Structure 1
Amino acid sequence: MTATLPREAAAPPVSVTRAYRFELLKLLSHWRIRLLLLACWIAPGLFVAGVSVQSTLPSDTLFGRWMHATGWAGPLVVLGFAGTWALPLLTSVVAGDVFAAEDRLGTWRHLLVAVRSPRRIFAAKALAALTVVLLLVAGLAASGTVGGLTAVGDQPLVGLDGHLISPGDAAAKVLLAWTAALAPTLALAAIGLLGSVALGRSPTGLLLPPLVALAMSVAQMLPLPVAVRLALPGSAFVSWNGLFTAPAQLTPLLIGIAVSLLWAVLATALAHHLFLRRDFTDLAYDGGGRRALTTGLLPMAGLLALSVAVIAVTAPSAGITRAKVQASLATAFAHLYRMQTGQLHRPAVTEAQLRASAACTKSDGLAAQEGPGNDWRCVVTWHLPGAAVAGTAVYQLDVGSDGRYVADGDGPKEVNGYFLVRTETGDAPNPLWQFDGNVELLDTTSKG
């Protein structure tokens, strides 16, 4: 008769909370993560404060021309740069390497023995990467805001349609803009997780978020259909501009946020699926190969096609038309004319009294009167109370594919032909000389 020994009870898996703390401390112990955190919490503030006191401003950047006037322009300039360059690189360093690092170091066996649950390992690593990414984004926003307010102060901000936004409203809109930018950042982070899992130690996984962001940035500059533009997860990096018009252009922003979150969920789910199916006993594992392509790339392409179809049906668009350009320019001019009137201490007028209108032509009327281009020429007409003759001013417009345009004054000199106006206290920047505007690409404008 053979005696059988009772089997020792299997040790339970480590909790997600403990695994998350371990992964977070492991990330924060890396010198490059600490350096990035330090840079994100200090560098934007120093940059904004330094630029704000210079004689030249980054006028080719959205809100850059107002960095002398208000501290709230600084964090928006930082946001414009971060959406194009900083955030894709940050998500690459953090999320794009969180799984691949274990492959390079050959530590999967030790981690599996310690935690005893691949699902909990994935959850802990994903949450730790998300936490670090949120800390980096918070640092960029807070540092840029503190730098701007310290160097310039808490003055009203000029919106994209020329109207003044009070400091309190400006603070709320800046916060909303940075919050909206979290959605495409999460999408890039999820793509980084997917690349880190699917491609193993290959450097391609680390480069995946910036490559995707670069492709989306190039696509935003092309004259693509509006439905395709809004179906890209990076559209929210652009459509936050609509928060700074009156009324706010919220529909493109909400669509961009929803699309970005869908990409984030799908990419994370695909990464989770691939992670659970991988063979951890293969010490030479170097990515999933064809399975990574079919399981990772094809579902994302399917989501893009589905998003384009849904947006095309549910969100009617007219693109950039002459009527929209004229209406946007006339509105911005009226608001900024009132600002110039205040600078020159002339009798106050209202937008209703000015009755500003614009007549625009593209390519001297020889081409279709719609679409982006730097060949828009507009004549703005306005009326002053008691004046028998209407005033006119000429503008050259450079309209981008995303609807943003730069209006460059072309005379008369006393209105918009020079970058300074002479006031009682000295020369001051002329708000009508050159300004930014925004044409909504959709037919409807959300009230807000």
Structure 2
Amino acid sequence: MTATLAARRPAPARPVSVPRAYRFELVKLVAQWRIRLLVLACWIVPALFVAGVSAQSTLPSDTLFGRWMHATGWAGPLVVLGFAGTWALPLLTSLVAGDVFAAEDRLGTWRHLLVAVRSARRIFVAKTLASLTVILLLVAGLAVSGAVGGLLTVGDQPLVGLDGHLLAPSDAALKTLLAWVAVLAPTLALAGIGLLGSVTLGRSPMGLLLPAVVALAMQLAQMLPLPLVVRLALPGYAFIAWNGLFTSPGQVGPLLIGVAVSLAWALTATALAYALFLRRDFTDLGYDGSGRRAVTAGLLPLVGLLAVSAAVIAPVTGGSGSGIEQEKVQRSLATAFAHLYRMQTRQLHRPAVTEARLRATAACDKGSDRIAARGPGNDWRCVVSWHLPGVEATGTAVYQLDVASDGRFVADGDGPKEVNGYFLVRTPEGDAPNPLWQFDGNVELLPTSKG
């Protein structure tokens, strides 16, 4: 009799496998009209935006690579990338990762989910993987859509880099792809922060908004006159450090540091969310988050990670201050001017000349000898000098520079008009402004062997 009862006793239920739970969570996310609308917008809107702007006479010249949207289709996805890193990606991570756990609190479905899956650990893994899958799909849509819109509207022409040199279409495509891949790291960091906020704050709206709020705070920090090592220790720095890919040689040091810091933040925030999720009491139906736990177990470890990152970066990079110094600005401006002078020479059908024979140099200050020529600001004034073969006189041109804290600068020609004034030149793609009139450049912030 005992043997018969033992034989009829049902086997203990096993937890649902992670792949099945992942598919279930992914279907739940994609079934939401909000997520479907976001996917549709990310795969269509950038192409329409790039095509519309490229067809206009006025370009977003205040945006990086915006002034080249008439010249090449590869400028479009980079303009989209600049906008996405500032606004789109933080909002997308908020709407996906910031709500993936809080949605169960609002609907009161934790008990049903636990009964179905029978493992809190597998629920966390499945929800995390599902949210990351959707985020990657959205990022891929932004990149592909922007590139398709630019290439169909303008074409596959060379791209002018941030030091004035021309990138062949294949090089431009590769570096554009690398730039989009690089911003995945800070996007994952914001996603980890979103998971942490969704777990600790429950149905509170702050959990949903946390990635966007953190991203906004990091953007404000990048605008402040903070030391370079502090800004490098913030995960959001990788959203702007991709600029260094478009110089020759590439200024990849800040980008690699930004990617490493972002991945560290992503792993730390996700691990904290996992630990807090496993400690949660799911029998409390009125759970509405814990602000105290969010501070002690969420905020303080991330602040500690920021301090440790800054302490490690400082001796490794050897950087100090803002990283923007007189010699670096002069070298970057002279290099960009020499490359663009050659471009102007070709467009005006003048005799070709090499950068080595031009021997372009720059002398920069901040308007007075009493003011140290270092740090960001719009008060940089530079005089570029160059030599033409067979001409004894030295050519000079004046520029006003607006140097941002991330090293990007905009050079505005201030005479002579025949060199860097505004006039149109005829190119294979149509009439375009004088390339020496206004152009973008990038200062190497970290110490280099050259200086």
**TM-score computed with the length of structure 2 as normaliser:** 0.96
8 Å CA contact retained: 1:72, 1:171: yes
Over the residues paired in the alignment, what is the CA RMSD in angstroms?
Answer: 1.7
1:303 partnered with 2:305: yes
- Can you list the C-alpha shifts for 1:344-393, whole angstroms capped at 9, x where unaligned? 00000000000000001113223111101100000000000000101100
| Equivalent position amino acid for 2:401 in 1 | L
| Equivalent position amino acid for 1:309 in 2 | A
5+ long unaligned stretches in structure 2: none
Question: After superposition, where does 1:313-328 map in structure 2 within 5 Å?
Answer: 313-318=315-320, 319-328=323-332
* 2:202 corresponding residue in structure 1: 200
Q: SS of the residue aligned with 1:378?
A: strand
Q: SS of the residue aligned with 1:200?
A: coil
Deviation of the 1:223 alpha carbon: 1.2
* 2:362 corresponding residue in structure 1: 358
Rounded to whole Å, the distance in 1 between the matches of 2:363 and 2:4 is 95
Rounded to whole Å, the distance in 2 between the matches of 1:272 and 1:445 is 44
- Can you list the C-alpha shifts for 1:293-337, whole angstroms capped at 9, x where unaligned? 111111101100000000011111151010000000000000000
8 Å CA contact retained: 1:419, 1:434: no
Which of residues 369, 378, 393 is equivalent to 2:397?
Answer: 393
8 Å CA contact retained: 2:421, 2:434: no
Deviation of the 1:419 alpha carbon: 4.4
* 1:184 corresponding residue in structure 2: 186
8 Å CA contact retained: 2:30, 2:36: yes
1:60 partnered with 2:96: no
Deviation of the 1:222 alpha carbon: 1.0
8 Å CA contact retained: 1:251, 1:445: no
- Can you list the C-alpha shifts for 1:408-445, whole angstroms capped at 9, x where unaligned? 00011111111424689985321000000001110027
8 Å CA contact retained: 2:163, 2:332: yes
* 1:175 corresponding residue in structure 2: 177
Which of residues 156, 180, 187 is equivalent to 1:154?
Answer: 156
Structure-2 change in CA distance of 1:15 and 1:423 (3 Å): closer
Which of residues 369, 372, 376 is equivalent to 1:368?
Answer: 372
1:332 partnered with 2:336: yes
* 1:145 corresponding residue in structure 2: 147
Which of residues 249, 258, 261 is equivalent to 2:260?
Answer: 258
Structure-2 change in CA distance of 1:362 and 1:72 (3 Å): same
* 2:387 corresponding residue in structure 1: 383
| Equivalent position amino acid for 1:247 in 2 | P
| Equivalent position amino acid for 2:392 in 1 | A
- Can you list the C-alpha shifts for 1:114-153, whole angstroms capped at 9, x where unaligned? 0000000000000000000000000000000000000000
8 Å CA contact retained: 2:54, 2:70: yes
Q: SS of the residue aligned with 2:362?
A: strand
* 1:13 corresponding residue in structure 2: 15
Rounded to whole Å, the distance in 1 between the matches of 2:445 and 2:431 is 37
1:412 partnered with 2:419: no
The number of residues matched between the two structures is 446
Q: Percent identity?
A: 79
Which of residues 92, 110, 113 is equivalent to 2:112?
Answer: 110
Q: SS of the residue aligned with 1:414?
A: helix
8 Å CA contact retained: 1:186, 1:261: yes
8 Å CA contact retained: 2:98, 2:191: yes
Q: SS of the residue aligned with 1:183?
A: helix
8 Å CA contact retained: 1:249, 1:445: no
**TM-score computed with the length of structure 1 as normaliser:** 0.97
| Equivalent position amino acid for 1:182 in 2 | L
* 2:102 corresponding residue in structure 1: 100
Rounded to whole Å, the distance in 1 between the matches of 2:405 and 2:252 is 18
Rounded to whole Å, the distance in 1 between the matches of 2:73 and 2:428 is 24
Rounded to whole Å, the distance in 2 between the matches of 1:297 and 1:347 is 62
Rounded to whole Å, the distance in 2 between the matches of 1:172 and 1:325 is 27
Structure-2 change in CA distance of 1:296 and 1:173 (3 Å): same
Q: SS of the residue aligned with 1:374?
A: strand
